[in-house]
Amino acid sequence: MGETFYLYANRQDLSRARREGSALWNLGVQDLASVLYLLDDTPVDVSCWGESYVRPGVGDVAFCFLRFATGVTVHLHLSSLDPQTVRRLVLVGSRQMAVFDELAVERALTIHDRAVVPPRSPGYGPSLRVEGDGSVLSPAIPADDPLQAMCETFLAAVRRGRPLESEGSLAVRVVAVLEALQRSLDRAGSAEVVSAPARRLPNVVAIRGN
Protein backbone atom coordinates (compact mmCIF):
# COMPACT_ATOMS: atom_id res chain seq x y z
CA MET A 1 0.00 0.00 0.00
CA GLY A 2 2.94 2.34 0.55
CA GLU A 3 2.61 5.27 2.93
CA THR A 4 -0.91 5.72 4.31
CA PHE A 5 -2.37 9.12 3.41
CA TYR A 6 -5.88 9.00 4.83
CA LEU A 7 -8.88 6.78 5.51
CA TYR A 8 -12.60 7.33 5.48
CA ALA A 9 -15.53 5.17 6.49
CA ASN A 10 -19.27 5.23 5.88
CA ARG A 11 -21.62 3.33 8.18
CA GLN A 12 -25.23 4.23 7.49
CA ASP A 13 -28.62 2.54 7.65
CA LEU A 14 -32.25 3.05 8.62
CA SER A 15 -32.90 0.07 10.90
CA ARG A 16 -34.94 0.48 14.07
CA ALA A 17 -32.30 -1.25 16.18
CA ARG A 18 -29.69 1.28 15.15
CA ARG A 19 -32.02 4.19 15.91
CA GLU A 20 -32.40 3.11 19.53
CA GLY A 21 -29.05 4.66 20.42
CA SER A 22 -26.62 7.35 19.36
CA ALA A 23 -25.17 6.99 15.86
CA LEU A 24 -21.74 7.83 17.27
CA TRP A 25 -21.73 5.08 19.90
CA ASN A 26 -23.83 2.48 18.06
CA LEU A 27 -22.19 2.77 14.65
CA GLY A 28 -18.76 4.25 15.36
CA VAL A 29 -17.25 1.48 17.48
CA GLN A 30 -16.45 -0.98 14.69
CA ASP A 31 -14.95 1.56 12.29
CA LEU A 32 -12.86 3.16 15.04
CA ALA A 33 -11.55 -0.24 16.10
CA SER A 34 -10.64 -1.03 12.47
CA VAL A 35 -8.88 2.30 11.97
CA LEU A 36 -6.87 2.16 15.20
CA TYR A 37 -5.91 -1.46 14.48
CA LEU A 38 -4.79 -0.73 10.90
CA LEU A 39 -2.78 2.35 11.85
CA ASP A 40 -1.55 0.91 15.18
CA ASP A 41 -1.83 4.44 16.55
CA THR A 42 -4.11 6.78 18.51
CA PRO A 43 -5.19 10.20 17.19
CA VAL A 44 -3.82 13.29 18.89
CA ASP A 45 -7.12 15.12 18.60
CA VAL A 46 -10.60 14.62 17.18
CA SER A 47 -13.65 16.64 16.17
CA CYS A 48 -17.29 15.64 15.77
CA TRP A 49 -20.39 17.34 14.44
CA GLY A 50 -23.85 15.84 14.58
CA GLU A 51 -27.57 16.43 14.76
CA SER A 52 -30.62 14.94 16.47
CA TYR A 53 -33.33 15.20 13.84
CA VAL A 54 -35.76 12.49 14.98
CA ARG A 55 -35.07 12.06 18.70
CA PRO A 56 -34.12 15.11 20.77
CA GLY A 57 -30.84 14.56 22.55
CA VAL A 58 -29.96 11.33 20.69
CA GLY A 59 -27.73 11.87 17.68
CA ASP A 60 -29.04 10.48 14.40
CA VAL A 61 -26.02 11.50 12.34
CA ALA A 62 -22.37 12.24 13.13
CA PHE A 63 -19.41 13.44 11.08
CA CYS A 64 -16.08 12.67 12.74
CA PHE A 65 -12.55 13.85 12.00
CA LEU A 66 -9.44 12.25 13.52
CA ARG A 67 -5.94 13.69 13.23
CA PHE A 68 -2.82 11.62 13.91
CA ALA A 69 0.69 12.84 14.73
CA THR A 70 1.97 11.11 11.58
CA GLY A 71 -0.15 13.38 9.39
CA VAL A 72 -2.72 10.68 8.63
CA THR A 73 -6.34 11.83 8.84
CA VAL A 74 -9.55 9.84 9.15
CA HIS A 75 -13.14 10.82 8.35
CA LEU A 76 -16.23 8.93 9.52
CA HIS A 77 -19.82 9.41 8.35
CA LEU A 78 -22.19 7.69 10.76
CA SER A 79 -25.95 7.81 10.33
CA SER A 80 -29.02 5.91 11.49
CA LEU A 81 -31.14 8.15 9.26
CA ASP A 82 -30.09 7.25 5.75
CA PRO A 83 -31.95 5.72 2.78
CA GLN A 84 -29.11 3.30 1.98
CA THR A 85 -27.26 0.74 4.05
CA VAL A 86 -23.54 1.37 3.65
CA ARG A 87 -20.67 -0.28 5.50
CA ARG A 88 -17.48 0.70 3.75
CA LEU A 89 -13.90 1.57 4.76
CA VAL A 90 -11.43 3.10 2.29
CA LEU A 91 -7.67 3.43 2.72
CA VAL A 92 -5.70 5.66 0.37
CA GLY A 93 -1.96 4.98 0.18
CA SER A 94 0.96 6.32 -1.79
CA ARG A 95 1.16 3.16 -3.95
CA GLN A 96 -2.24 1.53 -3.80
CA MET A 97 -5.76 2.12 -2.51
CA ALA A 98 -8.03 -0.39 -0.78
CA VAL A 99 -11.78 -0.61 -0.25
CA PHE A 100 -13.41 -2.92 2.30
CA ASP A 101 -17.16 -3.29 1.80
CA GLU A 102 -18.91 -5.50 4.35
CA LEU A 103 -21.98 -5.87 2.17
CA ALA A 104 -20.10 -7.04 -0.94
CA VAL A 105 -19.90 -10.69 0.06
CA GLU A 106 -18.04 -11.95 -3.01
CA ARG A 107 -15.69 -8.96 -3.26
CA ALA A 108 -15.46 -7.61 0.28
CA LEU A 109 -11.90 -6.36 -0.24
CA THR A 110 -10.65 -4.70 -3.41
CA ILE A 111 -7.13 -3.35 -3.88
CA HIS A 112 -6.70 -0.74 -6.62
CA ASP A 113 -3.30 -0.40 -8.27
CA ARG A 114 -3.54 3.37 -8.66
CA ALA A 115 -1.51 6.19 -7.12
CA VAL A 116 -0.90 9.89 -7.66
CA VAL A 117 2.80 10.77 -7.72
CA PRO A 118 4.15 14.33 -7.29
CA PRO A 119 6.75 15.64 -9.78
CA ARG A 120 10.41 14.89 -9.09
CA SER A 121 11.45 18.48 -9.76
CA PRO A 122 9.56 21.77 -10.11
CA GLY A 123 9.09 23.24 -13.55
CA TYR A 124 6.81 23.19 -16.53
CA GLY A 125 4.67 20.24 -17.46
CA PRO A 126 2.17 18.15 -15.51
CA SER A 127 2.44 18.79 -11.80
CA LEU A 128 1.13 15.33 -10.92
CA ARG A 129 1.03 11.97 -12.63
CA VAL A 130 -1.00 8.84 -12.04
CA GLU A 131 0.87 5.55 -11.79
CA GLY A 132 -0.34 1.97 -11.81
CA ASP A 133 -2.11 -0.03 -14.46
CA GLY A 134 -5.51 0.39 -12.83
CA SER A 135 -5.87 -3.31 -12.10
CA VAL A 136 -8.10 -4.43 -9.24
CA LEU A 137 -7.30 -7.37 -6.97
CA SER A 138 -9.99 -8.99 -4.82
CA PRO A 139 -8.39 -11.57 -2.53
CA ALA A 140 -10.66 -14.22 -1.10
CA ILE A 141 -11.78 -13.54 2.47
CA PRO A 142 -13.54 -16.20 4.57
CA ALA A 143 -17.13 -15.19 5.31
CA ASP A 144 -16.70 -15.74 9.05
CA ASP A 145 -19.02 -14.03 11.51
CA PRO A 146 -16.98 -11.32 13.31
CA LEU A 147 -18.78 -11.76 16.65
CA GLN A 148 -18.27 -15.51 16.55
CA ALA A 149 -14.57 -15.02 15.77
CA MET A 150 -14.23 -12.65 18.73
CA CYS A 151 -15.91 -15.14 21.08
CA GLU A 152 -13.73 -17.99 19.82
CA THR A 153 -10.59 -15.89 20.36
CA PHE A 154 -11.69 -15.05 23.90
CA LEU A 155 -12.47 -18.67 24.74
CA ALA A 156 -9.12 -19.80 23.34
CA ALA A 157 -7.37 -17.30 25.63
CA VAL A 158 -9.32 -18.63 28.60
CA ARG A 159 -8.28 -22.19 27.81
CA ARG A 160 -4.63 -21.15 27.56
CA GLY A 161 -4.89 -19.02 30.68
CA ARG A 162 -3.39 -16.03 28.85
CA PRO A 163 -4.92 -12.54 28.76
CA LEU A 164 -5.98 -10.82 25.55
CA GLU A 165 -3.62 -7.93 26.16
CA SER A 166 -3.63 -6.53 22.62
CA GLU A 167 -7.41 -6.72 22.31
CA GLY A 168 -7.86 -5.11 25.73
CA SER A 169 -5.51 -2.27 24.83
CA LEU A 170 -7.38 -1.66 21.58
CA ALA A 171 -10.73 -1.59 23.40
CA VAL A 172 -9.42 0.99 25.88
CA ARG A 173 -8.16 3.21 23.04
CA VAL A 174 -11.45 2.94 21.15
CA VAL A 175 -13.40 4.07 24.23
CA ALA A 176 -10.95 6.94 24.80
CA VAL A 177 -11.49 8.17 21.22
CA LEU A 178 -15.29 7.79 21.51
CA GLU A 179 -15.29 9.83 24.71
CA ALA A 180 -13.24 12.58 23.04
CA LEU A 181 -15.60 12.58 20.05
CA GLN A 182 -18.58 12.85 22.40
CA ARG A 183 -16.98 15.84 24.15
CA SER A 184 -16.44 17.48 20.78
CA LEU A 185 -20.04 16.76 19.77
CA ASP A 186 -21.31 18.31 23.00
CA ARG A 187 -19.16 21.39 22.34
CA ALA A 188 -20.30 22.00 18.76
CA GLY A 189 -17.35 20.39 17.03
CA SER A 190 -14.43 21.72 19.05
CA ALA A 191 -11.11 19.92 18.67
CA GLU A 192 -10.61 17.62 21.65
CA VAL A 193 -7.44 15.88 22.80
CA VAL A 194 -7.70 12.13 23.19
CA SER A 195 -6.95 11.30 26.82
CA ALA A 196 -4.64 8.36 27.48
CA PRO A 197 -5.63 5.88 30.20
CA ALA A 198 -4.61 7.17 33.61
CA ARG A 199 -2.77 3.93 34.40
CA ARG A 200 -2.08 0.57 32.84
CA LEU A 201 -5.09 -1.62 33.35
CA PRO A 202 -4.45 -5.02 34.90
CA ASN A 203 -4.81 -8.02 32.65
CA VAL A 204 -8.12 -9.78 33.11
CA VAL A 205 -9.04 -13.28 32.09
CA ALA A 206 -12.13 -15.34 32.80
CA ILE A 207 -11.82 -18.01 35.46
CA ARG A 208 -12.84 -21.51 34.53
CA GLY A 209 -15.09 -23.34 36.93
CA ASN A 210 -14.24 -26.75 38.34
State how far the Cα of 154 lies from the Cα of 28, in Å rounded to an integer.
Answer: 22
What pLDDT sits at residue 86?
94
Q: Classify residue 201 by its DSSP letter.
A: P
What pLDDT sits at residue 87?
95
State how far the Cα of 157 lies from the Cα of 189, in Å rounded to an integer.
Answer: 40
Domains of the chain: 4-117+144-193 (3.30.360.10)
> In tens digits, what is the pLDDT along the chain, a chain of 210 residues?
889 999 999 999 886 545 567 999 999 999 999 999 999 999 999 999 999 988 888 899 999 999 999 999 999 999 998 999 999 999 999 889 999 999 987 889 999 987 777 666 665 555 655 666 668 888 888 777 877 888 888 888 888 887 776 677 888 999 999 999 999 999 999 999 998 765 554 554 444 444
What pLDDT sits at residue 182?
96
Concatenating the DSSP letter of every residue in 15-38 gives: -HHHHTS-HHHHHHHHHHHHHHHH
What pLDDT sits at residue 206?
46
What pLDDT sits at residue 90?
97
